[in-house]
Amino acid sequence: MNLPIESLFVWLNLAGISVFAASGALAAARQRLDFIGACFFALITAAGGGTLRDLLIDAPVFWMIDAKPVILCCIVAVLVWAIPLRWWPERALEWLDAAGLAAFSVYGAGKALEAGFPPVPAIAAGVTTACLGGIIRDITAGVPSVLMRREIYVTAALFAAFLFVLLTTINVPAPWPSAAGFLAGFVLRGAAIRWQLTLPSHRGH
């Protein structure tokens, strides 16, 4: 396989937008909001992290120069909203969020690298892209932020972005850095969901 990195990035971005939009719309449905509310939740979840990333790397905000992400968010939101809640598995939102987290960790780090930023800021950009949307979604929905749970979350985004950047900087050919980063982030977050994996917490004294 010798897929150009930009080609895989297109799919990672679409996947991240779609699953984060679905998680936002599902959160809105659980709050019994109308379909416009679901579209709003989908957009802030899918675009929140990428908006801050683009501002930080001094790039045009992606959804301000291209309508397709907004349209995709609305389509996904309406489809998710139309599905009865009883059809959704209990932890569906967390698994959707895990897929979005992994995809956006890699995509955000890659976009920063392509903009000329060094590895460490690129990793930070990946983490920001992956985590901020879910935080905004939870705060807006009035539920405890995912960051306040003890399960591994930011660590999974950090691992995905770090692995991608490491493999890219040592010139591993595309698409292996992106694929490895995504898979690592999703597996780690998925394991945390399945087995409640945590890092050691502060002792409090």
Q: What is the pLDDT of residue 82?
A: 96
Residues of the chain with pLDDT under 50: 1-4
Q: What is the pLDDT of residue 151?
A: 87
Q: What is the pLDDT of residue 47?
A: 97
Q: What is the pLDDT of residue 7?
A: 66
- 144-153 pLDDT, tens digit per residue, is 888 887 889 9
What angle in degrees, to the nearest 10, is found between the helix axes of 119-141 and 154-169? 150
119/109 Cα distance (integer angstroms): 8
Helical residues (DSSP H) of 61-202, grouped into ranges:
62-65, 68-82, 92-114, 119-141, 154-169, 176-195
Q: What is the pLDDT of residue 53?
A: 97
- 184-193 pLDDT, tens digit per residue, is 999 999 999 9
Q: What is the pLDDT of residue 2?
A: 42
